[in-house]
Structure 1
Amino acid sequence: MKYLLYWLLIIQTSCSIAQPKKEQNSGTILLDPDFTGKISLYENISMSKITAMVNNNIDEEDFVYFVINGSTKDLYHVKAYYFIAGYINEGWISKINALGIYVKPYDKAIPIYRESNDLSPTVATIPKNSNFIKVLDCNNSWLKIETSYEGTNINGWLEKKYQCDNPYNSCN
């Protein structure tokens, strides 16, 4: 009996190790709620087949968000959802200007970092009540953003704790 339990433990451990790792969520971004066009969701990185055309449902006020599972220089691998209607599809989307994020309201300005870690120097701070901010890239849960504040262009990394991926409220 003791040997049987031992072998079962070895088999269980071996099976667990053999399982592929799930893709890590690199963050969530929004399709700009003011964007009235459609974007293509592609089946693969070659962009040879469109699996869905994604757009905000303005009439129902049901907006699109994307959970990022990976990226290349020009594309994000995402799962696309409507906030109300739910899951749309999975695939690749182009990194377009209509993809972005809001910032959460804090008592202070929000730091924007040079690199995607909080030990990196800050390049700027943005106000707590910023408008929709364009997202350029992702690294784990950090989002590389581009915005302007008081006439200065700001390009850097926004930490997860400051991101608000909800177009309906301010993520308090």
Structure 2
Amino acid sequence: MKILVFNLGLSLLGMTTLLAQRVGFINDADGYTNLRAAASSQSEIISVIRQGEEFTYYPKNNANWYQVDFKGKSGFMHKSRIKSLGQLKAELNNFFKKSASATKDAVELGEIDNEKLFQFTQDYPKAVMQTFCQQPKRIQDFLLQEFESPIHDLIDLQLIYSRLEAIGPSCSDASKLKSALKKAAGKMRMKLDEFRPNAVIHHDYLKEIPLYDSKGKKLGFLKNDDKNEDYIYLEIVRDSLDFFYVKSKMEMELEVKEGWIKKNRQIGTYARNYSRPSLKLYSHPTKKSKPQSQILDRIPEMYTVQKVYQDWVYVQIEHDGVTYSGWLQPNMQCPNSYMTCN
């Protein structure tokens, strides 16, 4: 009996040591942090995580290095270089309240805060949207006025709008934020693109993908820009047996290309089930159909898109030797190479 109690105690100790996974961002004045193969500053650098890029980490009690998962790679990062999503949202909350409380006479401070607001939104769109949704109406109204009036024309409204579009709404008021950006663009005689992505080309796939017209004539090609970390988003409009008809754009560019591309295992989407790991893939593109696959744990890898129907996508993924497939409902799609969508 003593042995049983002792073993149980060790098990409980192990359970309390490893905490739940969390969403994190880098906390580094240099604008980037190295992801290392082992828990040591002398270990091999396996990836570089930059400002605004999101990752998953696993905090442990009494540990200085945390395991980090980023774009399919698993490594280690010192805890001092990690800022949790909760910390970031608290920082944003304080910034929103402070800015809204500043006197109207503080013109210079207001200009600095305006530029900072847009930079926050560009780097951390999900956190900004979630924190915006939690604000009282008075502060929301103040923020909307700021979003309608960017302090200078160097602010990339299209990039910010695209990133907000990619993560989807966090609350019923989220659409107001995007409407404010449209008003700002209108004042600058711009029109923000209504591009609605439902897939991406995997960020590690760097080959050219030919783009064709309906007669098979080559129009050009699509290609991820790994050097500048500018990746392709796709709105798959319809499909044939072997091809997708897509609207495509690079995240940091305005141009939208249209045409047919050959179906490819590198075309897919991520699942929006970070906070609720269980995921159903349906036998037909309706929630009234029976689940064809049920995934109990969150899979961070990309699901390959095989066909589309309206705003549903049929996906497949192999994980731990098991193949899962079925229709993924629209509100569970996360076509985003930079971050999770929850």
1:70 aligns with 2:238: yes
SS at match of 1:161: helix
Q: TM-score, normalised by structure 2?
A: 0.41
* Separation in structure 1 between the aligned mates of residue 231 and residue 257 of structure 2, nearest angstrom: 14
Mapped partners of 2:326, 2:223: distance in 1:
27
2:231 and 2:337 in contact (8 A); partners too: yes
Q: Answer yes or no: is the 8 Å Cα contact 1:30–1:99 preserved in 2.
A: yes
Structure showing greater radius of gyration is 2
| Match 1:106 to one of 249, 256, 275 | 275
Question: Following superposition of structure 1 onto structure 2, how do residues 15-26 of structure 1 map, counting pairs within 5 Å?
Answer: none
Q: 1:163 to 1:136 in 2, by over 3 A?
A: same
Partner of 1:152: 322
Residue 26 of structure 1 contacts residue 140 of structure 1 at CA under 8 Å; is this kept in 2?
Answer: no
Match for residue 254 of structure 2?
86
1:3 corresponds to which residue? none
TM-score (norm 1): 0.79
Aligned to 1:95: 263
TM superposition shift of 1:26: 9.2
Q: Once the two structures are aligned, what percentage of the paired residues are identical? A: 24
The ranges of structure 1 where at least 4 consecutive aligned residues each deviate by more than 3 angstroms after the TM superposition are none
> Aligned AA for 2:329?
E
- Residue identity opposite 1:117 in structure 2: T
Gaps of 5+ in 2: 1-194
**Unpaired runs of at least 5, structure 1:** 1-24
Superposed CA offset, 1:67-98 (max 9, x none): 12222111111111001123241111111111
Query: Paired residue for 1:139?
Result: 309
Residues 26 and 139 in structure 1, CA contact (< 8 A), matched pair in contact too: no
CA distance in 2 between counterparts of 1:168 and 1:155 reads 24
* Structure with more helix by fraction: 2
Q: Which residue of 2 aligns with 1:171?
A: 341
Aligned to 1:8: none
Q: Is the 8 A contact 1:42 1:51 kept in 2?
A: yes
* CA RMSD in angstroms, aligned pairs only: 1.8
Residue identity in the other structure for 1:113: Y
- Report the structure, 1 or 2, having the larger strand content: 1
